[in-house]
Every structure is written in structure tokens, then in C-alpha cells.
Amino acid sequence: MADERRAGTADVPGPDPRPSRRARLTSAGRRLAARVPAPWGFVLAVFVGSKVVLSLVGVLVLTAWDGVPGAPPADEAMMRVEQDRISSHRWVSLWFAWDSFLYDHLARLPLDRPWKDFGFPLLYPFLARPLAPLLGGHTAWALLLVANVALLFQLWFAYRLGARLLGHEDPGDGRRAVRYLLLLPTAFLFQAALTESLFVCLALAAFWYAEQRRWLVVGIVGYFLAMSRSVGFVVVIPLALVLLRQHGWRLNPRSLPRYVREGWPLLLVPAGWLTFMAFCRWQSGDWFAYQHAQEKGWGIKVQNPLGVAGSALVGDNSANALRVWIAVAMLAVAAVGLRRRADWPYLVYTVIVVLVPLSMGPPVYKSLLRYLLAAFPVALVLARWARRPGLDGWLTAGLALLQGALFAVWLTYWTHLII
């Protein structure tokens, strides 16, 4: 009997000492994640997650919209044709609208003959030029790639700057800053073939290096910032305020040599816009070709931004009023959340990127919600407020619903509300 029991016991298989395939994969994934330097793991996860979610939502909404009579609207039909030319895959083509096709045109214009097109600053389309041959000559795909790479680095700078400004390098504050940046009303445009992600990436980088007191890097980044959008060169003002704050807001003859010694690279910021003006002069013989193209093509003339905002609020066009009310709300959030003296550079920056577009006159109404994305300090304020128990969930839900509604408007080709 004892021999039988021993034999029976020997026949029972024991636990396999080797880890299962799932355990090995999990362990390998953890080791790989541990090698990714912080905060790139979080940034990459947020980038991929937002890309997948928005693409899925976009395709579903567009598929449902196909069955609606009269879709797309008559004045958007040509844009649909242009989208189909870029790609038959809707998860790609939905990220191109209106100005995207003009950037594509600028990216393909030859440099060995005079230009007539100066409606936009040229950094964004020029970055796509060397990438297009690697993508089979598709400049539109190159533009989309530039925008998304810029978005990836934008999230990294938002994480670092948010953690520094809000919580002394607290990772929780950095993660909230990234999340609220992507929850701004039209933040889905960061993934489109437009300049928003590039401009905000460069702006965040300029302020991040300014906080690090790396002023030569600030000047170089600011140079390209000024070449990415006309408002870029004015960012030299809040950047100079960061320098002033770092020296206790002292401004007297004794402190002037120190400011010059440290802050001279800030001169590179307006130099970026002067470079674009020089390009206009070289190609057209007109230093102000950009300004004249804006006036002729869109009827843009410099005006009092407060008057432009007021005329929309009291006018009969509810869409214009909605756009301006959102701008007013963002200014109010910035004024309340950035009232501390240490935050004044970011308050001044927000005022600039909101009021400068409004100074372009009524034609800006159609693109105002797009331009407001430049006001990244609003996301930092919301991230700071979200520390309060219970408020984070409400803010996240409210902003997600607002962005979802605007994204649906974008997808159903009523894009003139946004761009």
C-alpha cells in the first residue's frame, strides 16, 4: 500500500517552475517601460490613446453623417474632394481642412521662381519639404507627420513645465497639465495638418528653457516660433518678463548690464519674423507681401481688438458671439488663475495670443476657436484648480463634452465655425 501511494504521488504533476508566456510578456513589458525615461512613457501613452480615440470617433461620426440628406453642405463639398485626393482612408483625410491645403501648396512651390503666395508664415510648410521625398513625395502626409511629431514634443514640454510651475516637479501636476491641454475646447486640432501643435510646442519649449535660464536656447527656439505664426515674435515680451522675474523685478541702471548679458538672445525672436519678411522681399520685391496678401485675400486689417470682440457680442451672429464668449472665458480663467506676481509672464502671454488675433478684425471670427489653442497657460490654471477634491472630474467631463461637440461640428464639415 505504501508503495502504491508513493507511486500515485509520483504520478501527480507538480507546478511548472517555468513562468507562463503571459508572465514572461508582462515582465518584458515592465522592463521595457522601466527603460523609457520619464515622462516619455506617460506622454507616449497619452499621445497614442488620444490618437486612437479621436480617429475612431471621427470615422464613426463621418460614417453616420453619410446618411444625412444634404451632407456635406454645399460650401464644404470641395473640401471633401480635396480630402479624398489626399487619402481614401478617412482616419487620415479627416485631419485636413481648408488651410491644410494651402500649406500643402506652399510646401510644393519651387524656390527658383518668384512667388505670389504669402498668406502664411513658412516654417510649417518648409519643415515638410525635406520629409516629403521620404514619404513618396506626399507633402500632405509630411505636413501631418510634422504636426504630430510637434504634438508629441508639445506634450513633453507641457508635462515638464506644468510640473515645475504647479508643483515643484510634481509628476501629478505634470500629468494634469498634459490632460487639460488636450481638453481645451478645440484641442483635437493639435492632431490636424495645421500649425497649432507646432506653435504651441515651440511656445512651451521657449518658456521651459526660460525657466531653466538657458537663454541662448530660448532665443533659438523663439526664432523659429516667430517664423511659425505672426503672433510669435510678440512672445518676446512675456519671455522678457520671465527674465525680469528671475532677478526680482529689478529694473535700474545697475541691473541693465546683467539683463543684456543674459537676455541678448531674446533679440533672435523678432529676428525670426524679419527673416520671413526678407524672404518676402527676395521672392516678391515686397517686404510686406504677407500683410498685403492678408488684406487682399481675407480683408484683414489691424483694428482695436476690444472693439472687434464687442461687435460680435452685441451683433446678430450667434456663432460669432459664441466664439468671442469662449475667448472671454479663457481670459477670465487666466486673469483669476495667473494673478500671482510669479505668473504674470504667462498672463501677459495669454492676453497677447487672444487679443492679437482679434486685432485682425471681423474675418478672424471664423478661425478664433483655432487661434485660442495657443493659450496654453489656461490649461495650467485648470490643472492647478483640479487639485481640489471632486473638481477634477467635473472639469474633465465638462471640457470633454464641449470638445466632443466641437469635434462633431468639425467632422460634419461645418468647419467654418472653427477654422
pLDDT single digits (tens) 127-184: 999 999 999 989 999 999 999 999 999 999 999 999 999 877 678 899 999 999 999 9
Q: In the structure grid, which three cell numbers stand for residue 130, read together? A: 525635406
Question: Angle formed by the axes of helices 99-108 and 139-167, to 10°?
Answer: 120
pLDDT beyond 90 at 399? yes
pLDDT one-digit tens code per residue, 17-28:
556 666 666 665
* AA letter at 248: G
Q: How confident is the model at residue 361 (pLDDT cuts 50, 70, 90)?
A: confident
| Euclidean distance between CA atoms 186 and 330, whole angstroms | 13
| Spacing of C-alpha 81 from chain mean position | 26
Mean confidence (pLDDT) of the chain:
87
- Give the model's pLDDT for residue 9: 47
Question: Furthest-apart CA pair in the chain: how many Å?
Answer: 108
Lookup: cell for 247:
532677478
User: Which tens digit of pLDDT belongs to each residue from 20-50?
Assistant: 666 666 665 556 555 667 789 999 999 999 9
Work out the percent of the chain whose per-residue pLDDT is above 70: 88
Quick one: pLDDT at residue 299? 79
pLDDT value of residue 337: 95
As a dihedral over the C-alpha atoms of residue 51, residue 54, residue 60, residue 66, rounded to 10 degrees, the angle is: -110
Cell digits of residue 328:
472671454
Angle between helix 377-385 and helix 318-337 axes, rounded to 10 deg? 60
Euclidean distance between CA atoms 88 and 91, whole angstroms: 9
pLDDT band of 75, cuts 50, 70, 90: low
Q: Report the alpha-carbon distance of residue 77 to residue 83 in Å, rounded.
A: 10
pTM over cut 0.85: yes
Give the SS3 label for residue 97.
Answer: coil
Helix (H, G, I), strand (E, B) or coil at 413: coil
Total residues belonging to the chain: 419
Q: What pLDDT, in 10s, does the model give residues 211-263?
A: 999 999 999 999 999 999 989 999 999 999 999 999 999 888 888 888 899 99
The whole-number pLDDT of residue 171 equals 80
Percentage of the chain lying above the pLDDT 90 cut = 55
- CA dist., res. 288 & res. 296, Å (int): 12
Would you call 155 exposed, middle or buried from its count of C-beta atoms within 10 A (0-12, 13-18, 19+)? buried
Of 72, 292, 99, give the one whose Cα is nearest residue 198.
99
Look up residue 173 and give its amino acid.
D
